Amino acid sequence: MQINRTQLFRASCLSLLVTSLSFGIRAGTLNDFGAVFGLDKTQLASITATAFYGFPIAVVIGGFVVDIIGMKRLLVFAFLFHLAGILLTVFAQGYWTLYVSTLMIGIANGTVEAACNPLVTSLYTDNKTTKLNHFHLWFPGGIVIGSLLVFAIDALHLPLEKHTLLELKVGLMLIPTVIYGFLFSKLDFPVTERVASGVSAGGMYKALLNPLFLFMFVCMFGTAITELFTGQWIDVLLKNVTDNAILLLTLETGVMVLGRGLAKPVLKRFTPQFVLLMSTILASIGIYMLSTVTGPAIYAAAIIFGMGVCYFWPTMLGFVNTNMPNTGAIGLNLMGGAGMFAVSLYTIVMGSHYDEIVKKANGDNRFAGQQILHDTLFIPIALIVAFAGLVIYMRSRNKSKPLQQAAVL
């Protein structure tokens, strides 16, 4: 068996690109889907949430079986779910077809993460930090690409019906999907790093009971909601505050791409727990500004928010992987699943809350989205306290042994 790690890595990046395109394009088309099919914000929130709970279902199940069935079989499933979900979205006829298609895409996205994170660490055991960083650049990078594609298509003012334009935007995801499916189908895969290193399954499950892992597991709820709920819903929440709400998402994720590109020198200078603390402070400032300012200042708010959330997901996973390596693939995937599950529940609750705010205001929804962001502010503020405690705890724990640099995923 010959392992071509360069081609495997490129195919992994393409699969993550499809995952991120589904976020960027979905964020840019959510309002249009609502207009075409006459959906209220509660229904839109329900549809959006399916991607976020489809993801944790897949990533957790994938984490349990990846060592058994192998990464290649998982990625075959991801390709099939992506293909079916995209096609069903293109030919959607209303609420339920959008609901099912979004669920399928969410399952595909989770399966990609369940397979590709351990794949990259297995391919580059001597250079994990850099290669995982390069891999996860494609998530915010793909959101930038997706949101810009949506913006560009709208700017062209093509002589097409709105429904046809939606089909065109979503259908663009088929291109990288077919390519990554083809590439993975003809490549050989290694075993996971946990299997290769000889850590037993029992040792892996025992490591999950570490109180520090459980603490980070709970904190993942808050970091994921702060980052992904706001990003996925920014076009809906701020549509009435700015004419270019989708550009806010592009600006935010562009900052995330830059930040993750600089992750290696940042984490060389600062500990992961300190990075998380500072990130939470910046995210709190960014959300506060997004919930209060109007005009050009809202773009500055998006930049500050992007600076805050850019390190959340990768540094949370990297912290766990570095400090509790025996948790293996299941540890990474449980963290990812926890985050996405929390986002799914929060999205449903806040979608209903949005409609309640509009109803109380007699149909005036101009500032309803900013009210939702203001109500979300308590989450990053609570995380400031949690991560300040983590900084103190790790400083005490590592007085005699410096903390190794966390792998940025």
| % pLDDT > 90, the chain | 32
Instruction: Determine the Cα–Cα distance for residues 50 and 103; give it in Å rounded to an integer.
Output: 5
- Structure confidence at residue 199 (pLDDT): 78
Least confident of 38-52, 144-158, 239-253, 390-404: 239-253
* Angle CA 378–384–387, to nearest 5: 135
| % pLDDT > 70, the chain | 91
According to DSSP, residue 201 is labeled: H
Domain tally for the chain?
Answer: 1
Question: Tell me: the pLDDT tens digits for 271-321?
Answer: 889 999 999 999 999 999 988 888 888 889 889 999 999 989 888 988 887
Higher-scoring residue by pLDDT: 226, 53: 226
Residue 390 in domain? yes
pLDDT tier at 401 (50, 70, 90 boundaries)? low
CA R_g for the chain: 20
Residue 246 in domain? yes
- Assess whether pLDDT exceeds 70 at residue 409: no
pLDDT tier at 404 (50, 70, 90 boundaries)? very low
- Assess whether pLDDT exceeds 70 at residue 266: yes
Greatest mean pLDDT among 47-51, 103-107, 270-274, 280-284: 280-284
pLDDT tier at 403 (50, 70, 90 boundaries)? very low
State mean pLDDT over 67-88: 92
Q: What is the chain's mean pLDDT, rounded? A: 84
Residue 196 in domain? no
Q: Quick one: tokens of 383? A: 């995380």
- Assess whether pLDDT exceeds 80 at residue 343: yes
DSSP letter for each residue of 138-179? HHHHHHHHHHHHHHHHHHHT-SS-HHHHHHHHHHTTHHHHHH
- Structure confidence at residue 148 (pLDDT): 78
- Structure confidence at residue 175 (pLDDT): 92
- Structure confidence at residue 241 (pLDDT): 61
Residue 22 in domain? yes
Higher-scoring residue by pLDDT: 248, 15: 15
Q: What range defines the domain where residue 312 resides?
A: 5-190+201-397
- For the whole model, what pTM was predicted? 0.81
State mean pLDDT over 28-40: 81
- Structure confidence at residue 405 (pLDDT): 43
Least confident of 8-12, 335-339, 367-371: 367-371
- Structure confidence at residue 408 (pLDDT): 42
- Assess whether pLDDT exceeds 50 at residue 269: yes
Question: Tell me: the pLDDT tens digits for 180-224?
Answer: 999 999 999 988 777 777 778 888 889 999 999 999 999 999 999
What CATH number is associated with residue 54? 1.20.1250.20
Instruction: Determine the Cα–Cα distance for residues 298 and 371; give it in Å rounded to an integer.
Output: 15
Higher-scoring residue by pLDDT: 277, 170: 277
According to DSSP, residue 364 is labeled: -
Burial 381-391 (b: 16+ CB within 10 A, else e): eebbebbbebb
According to DSSP, residue 401 is labeled: S
Residue 403 in domain? no
